[in-house]
Amino acid sequence: MTVIHHLFEPGFFASGPVHTALLVSAVAALVAGPLGVFTVLRGQSFAGEALGDIGTTGGSGAYLVGVGPLWGFLVINVAAVTLMELIGVQRHRGRDLATGIVLGAGLGLAALFLYLAATHQSTTGAAVTVLFGSLFSVAGSTSPLAIAIAAVVLVLLAIVGRPLLLASANPELAAARGIPVRLVGYVYLLALSLAVALCALTIGSILSTALLIGPAASSLRICRRPVWAAAAAAGLGIAAAWLGILLAYDSYAWPPHHQGWPVSFFVVALVLVIYLGCGVARQLSGSAR
Amino acid sequence: MFSSFMVNAWIVGTIVAVVAGAVGFFVVTRGSAFAAHALPNGSFAGAAGAVLIGISTLIGLVVCSLLGALGIALLGRRGRPDVATALVLVMMLALGSLFLSLSSQYAPAVYSLLFGEILGIGSNELAPTAALAAASVLGLAILYRPLMLSSVLSEVAQARGIRDFPIELGFLVVVALTAAMTIPVVGTLLVFTLMIGAPAAARSVTDTPGRAMTLSVAIAVGTVWAAIALSYDTNYPVGFFVGMISAACYLLGRLVASLRRRPARTATNVPAAVVRT
């Protein structure tokens, strides 16, 4: 009994914010895992990370206009991936650059929006909240909407999954088989923009990137088949998120200050440990054979 | 516009633009835009950590961005470079948020770190900026030949026995120094945009490396000067103008390139792929 008390600080299972955090992070990890497998295979981690940052622009813009931040995130992210597609993300070498150009312009707008928000409403805290969303401050009412967006993303992914896999691994072969490579790539980017908007808003843009890339890159190190990798990525993501939440909750009881460490720190550290561990596991199994 | 407190802004803006334009040429050519975004962004953790233990912010930034460069290079050896960059970036950001929460006195400064305060630069910041700029340029000069070879013709570089890892690490160190130097004065946003927008515009206009690099520096300097002037007149943040002007330069470059390429292709009938390499 005492061991359990040390593992789970009292009140962990009764706390409302903890319930919401567990639910929302599980939804985010469930979506980010499979999507992340494609992101890693296509080498578009930068786009995934950039969309989280560009979402900030939408968030601060929505704040200025007076609509909900989620709408700002969704609108700006869809606009951003459309621009990336037009500039030429489909060429492998140009992807990185197109993402960079769009990100630069987006951050420029963010500077303007935050400046306007700060001068009009004098809220220096707004920038920080948008940038470092915290899991424990997620409102319980966002869960249904989060689940709805997650469902849309998973359906999109299920529709384009097989052609997208071929188009990611071998674009020429896919084109020869009559797959509309560019369209499939754009649908993937749309799914990514929705998923990142969801993740960035609920769990913050740091954790959004961490859960998108980390578990997927880890599972691709140990799984050969993409379907297994997608499932393993979702599982690893949920494990990292839940363990991170537990540790963050427990950390309120840690000496010396009893003030609690940020959730994002624990989750990211766990994701990194998993990634390194999967690398070691692959090497061990490689040398055993 | 050229009063005494503005002089520092002009000087620092020009230094930053020259270094960012030169380093950015290699960033764009090597396809390292993600690293150029991650290093300035992540090294805010260094600033937060420096405040926590009570040392100079600049030292924290330099140490943290150098560690980030090392991490990206090491993780990128085994595995995909973009995954390595993403993981190092989130780790740095997460450490930063940990330091922020532990010190709980630094939050308002995050805004100025991200978007910079070029119009509020004091004279005492000129010397460290100039010193770090000199270090970046020196590093670039030392690496210049092998870096150019491995960026433009990676097969030839490998055949000549130039190993990828030391070059990549050296290059990332230069990017890290550039980041550390520019963050306190112009913010992470401005340096990233300058390192991408200006060189990308330059490269879409000309294919000759030397000319592209010179043009990239010129565009970067022009962008910063225009942005400072506009910001002075309108009071809007410098980062906004830099972002917009950079994107506009890139679009203009693409437009010029496509206008120029179209008659050339019909005249000689050379495939575009051959022309571009």
- In chain A, positions 168-187, which contact chain B (CB-CB < 8 Å)? none
Q: Is B257 on the interface with A (CB under 8 A)?
A: no
Could you give the angle at which helices A92-121 and B238-268 cross, rounded to 10 degrees? 150
- Predicted local distance difference test score (pLDDT) of residue A91: 62
For the cut 60, the answer to whether the pLDDT of residue B269 exceeds it is: no
Tokens representing residue A286 in the block: 């490689």
Rounded to an integer, what distance in angstroms lies between the CA atom of residue A111 and that of residue B138?
32
Q: How many CB atoms lie within 10 A of CB A14?
A: 8
For the cut 90, the answer to whether the pLDDT of residue B129 exceeds it is: no
CATH number of the domain within which B96 lies: 1.10.3470.10
Q: H or E element: which one contains A140?
A: none
- What pLDDT, in 10s, does the model give residues A222-262? 888 888 999 999 999 999 999 998 888 888 777 666 677 88
Tally the domains of chain B: 1
- Predicted local distance difference test score (pLDDT) of residue A232: 93
Least trusted range by pLDDT, from A135-139, B92-96, B228-232: A135-139
For the cut 50, the answer to whether the pLDDT of residue B32 exceeds it is: yes
- What pLDDT, in 10s, does the model give residues B137-146? 899 888 888 8
Rounded to an integer, what distance in angstroms lies between the CA atom of residue B92 and that of residue A68?
30
For the cut 80, the answer to whether the pLDDT of residue B121 exceeds it is: no
Domain containing B264: what range? Answer: 4-276
Rounded to two decimals, the pTM is: 0.85
User: Distance (Å) from the C-alpha of residue B135 to the closest C-alpha of chain A?
Assistant: 25
A240, amino acid identity: A
Rounded to an integer, what distance in angstroms lies between the CA atom of residue A113 and that of residue A217?
34
Residue with structure tokens 């575009």?
A: B272
| From B28, B79, B247, residue closest to A104, measured CB to CB | B247
- Predicted local distance difference test score (pLDDT) of residue A218: 93
- Predicted local distance difference test score (pLDDT) of residue A269: 92
Q: Is B115 on the interface with A (CB under 8 A)?
A: yes
Positions in chain A whose pLDDT score sits under 70: 1-14, 89-94, 118-142, 255-258, 287-289
What ipTM was predicted for this assembly? 0.85
Q: Where are the alpha helices (DSSP H) in chain B?
A: 4-30, 33-42, 44-53, 57-77, 81-103, 107-115, 126-152, 154-159, 164-205, 209-234, 238-268, 272-276
Contact B186, B24 (CB under 8 A): no
Q: Is B158 on the interface with A (CB under 8 A)?
A: no
Domains of chain A: 2-288 (1.10.3470.10)
- What pLDDT, in 10s, does the model give residues B147-188? 888 877 777 777 776 677 888 899 999 999 988 888 877 777
Q: Is A262 on the interface with B (CB under 8 A)?
A: yes
B98, amino acid identity: L
